[in-house]
Structure 1
Amino acid sequence: MKITTVHGDITEQHVDAVVNAANSSLLGGGGVDGAIHRRGGKAILDECRALRASKYGRGLPTGQAVATTAGELPAQWVIHTVGPGYGADDRVELLASCYRESLRVADELGAATVAFPAVSAGSYGWPAEEAARVAVETVWAADTKVAEARFVLFDETVLRAFQDAVRKAGPTDAAITADLAALPDAHWRRLFARMDGLTNADREVKWGGGNEVKPGVTQLPYPVYSDAIQEIRGMLPIAVFDWPKWIQDNPVFPEGSGLDERPVADAVRLATTYLRGERFSDGAIQQAIENGALRAIVARLRKWSEQEKLG
């Protein structure tokens, strides 16, 4: 699943389904709820009244979700969910349930793209950081066929909180593996052939710089990698996640020990750690060459490509 964050108005999103942070009455209210009812028009309210008259006579319970037409919105459906107030019993599980149930309903509808607001982060009092963390972690972990979950945030502070949560959470193993599967077979053949053909000269890293470029200013040293290593470096897959934290918590860093028995997604994470690390510390790729991490990463990718890719 692709997770995106957007600064904007959720009522203007051209998606299959828009999630409404509704109140339990399903009859409209303030904030996102009021905006969706106003923009969507009478058709949404009519279906909500029908739901109240039938299945939800006492209102929609907190943490559950139900769908109606989207009326005049540029979406097909509205999925209504009721978030918990901050400080309520089991509040984290109830908020997580809002996202899981919304995705479950989206799957029943056949919706491929879903736009979410920051459920409970407005008048219900949730701190933006905590609301974002629960939302992003729950959506990442959900078993769903939804292809894109789009968090649409009007408030810039809330937007930054969601952006930070997405960066920290990172994609699931399944999402990373799906990205690998989307790469053509020719990509993998080229990568493995280039790795197999490495010579000792290719692996040797020279250092440039150290020269005085003007009086009193000396150019900092920098690694010079062979063309073969540069090509391999450009073909290694990467993922967007909090890789500095992953380094601290993961036993396969730094040399890839045990990577062969780990999910292939960890090979991507380890590759990302070195590739991104090179931008902050010259010579990170050299470390990967010398400690065997590069060899372990490519070996794990090869095992996936040859033994696991087709399931």
Structure 2
Amino acid sequence: MGASRDRSVVEDGRVRQERRAALRDLVPAIERLRGHGEVEWSGGDQQEDGSFTFRYPIYDRDTQKVMEVCNGGALTDFDYRRTLERHGGHGLGSQAPDFVALARDSDEDLIVALLTWIMRSERFGAGDVAAALENGALVALLDRLRELYGE
């Protein structure tokens, strides 16, 4: 095996260990998010000057922790679009895929890419994380990752 290949294997192992540790830290939050109800929203009100504020979801501390780890933290795929393309383009179309169904059979790379996609899409359409939380997709993806890691 060449030095480049050795370095790649070591790097992959380090990334996997970091992901496992991050997921382990999230377990209490994941358990509290299981069966989460409707997310509270704020904004959308008309101001005194006649303008309107944007509506936005108010995420609890557990959701914020998951968002942090999956949007720049250890469970982030910075090349998630390419990963999704390699796995058939999940999430790149005009409508979101069925994350709960995908979670059943996806490998580690696809799960992390899907989590990243959900978090990144929040920037363009406030409420994508809320939808994934309310329909159980966020917990299903994290549960699949736990299964893959033997946690």
Q: Which TM-score applies when normalising by structure 2? A: 0.73
- What secondary structure, in the 3-state scheme, does the structure 2 residue paired with 1:197 have? helix
Change (3 A) 1:299 1:223: same
Match 2:67 to one of 207, 222, 233 = 233
Q: Which amino acid aligns with 2:59?
A: Y
The offset of 1:285, in angstroms, is 0.4
What are the superposed Cα offsets for residues 154-201 of structure 1, whole Å, 9 maximum, x if unpaired? xxxxxxxxxxxxxxxxxxxxx87752323463x33221121112376x
> In the alignment, is residue 194 of structure 1 matched against residue 32 of structure 2?
no
Consecutive unaligned residues in structure 1, runs of 5 or more: 1-103, 113-143, 148-174
CA distance in 2, matches of 1:261, 1:268: 13
* 1:255/1:293 contact within 8 Å kept: yes
- Please show how residues 79-228 of structure 1 align to structure 2 within 5 Å: 107=2, 110=3, 112=4, 144-147=5-8, 179-183=15-19, 185=21, 187-198=22-33, 203-228=37-62
* AA partner of residue 99 (structure 2): E
Q: 2:33 & 2:92 partners in 1: Cα distance?
A: 31
**How many residue pairs get matched?**
137
- Contact in 2 for aligned 1:267/1:297 (Cα 8 Å): yes
Unaligned runs of 5+ in 2: none
Could you tell me which residue of structure 2 aligns to residue 305 of structure 1?
149
Q: Determine if contact 1:256/1:270 at 8 Å carries over to the other structure.
A: no
Q: Which structure has the larger Rg?
A: 1
Change (3 A) 1:289 1:257: same
CA displacement, residues 225-259 of structure 1 (integer Å, 9 cap, x when unaligned): 1122112222331212326954147xx92323042
RMSD of the alignment, in Å? 3.0
Q: Which amino acid aligns with 1:273?
A: W
Counterpart of 2:135 in structure 1 is: 291
CA distance in 1, matches of 2:30, 2:37: 10
Please say if 1:259 is aligned against 2:103.
yes
Higher RCO, 1 vs 2 (CA within 8 Å, ≥6 residues apart): 2
Q: Aligned equivalents of 1:266 and 1:190: distance in 2?
A: 21
Identity of aligned residues (%): 23
Which structure shows the higher helix fraction? 2
Q: Deviations 1:260-282 (Å, cap 9, x if unpaired)?
A: 32211111111011100001100
**Cα 1:214–1:259, aligned 2, differ >3 Å: closer, same or farther?**
same
Match of residue 116, structure 2, among 272, 283, 303:
272
Per the alignment, do residues 289 and 212 of structure 1 end up closer, same or farther by CA in structure 2, a change over 3 Å counting?
Answer: same
* Structure with the bigger percentage of strand: 1
Partner amino acid, structure 2, of 1:282: A
Structure 2: which amino acid aligns with 1:305?
Answer: Y
CA contact (8 A) 1:278 1:285 kept: yes
Shift of 1:146: 4.3
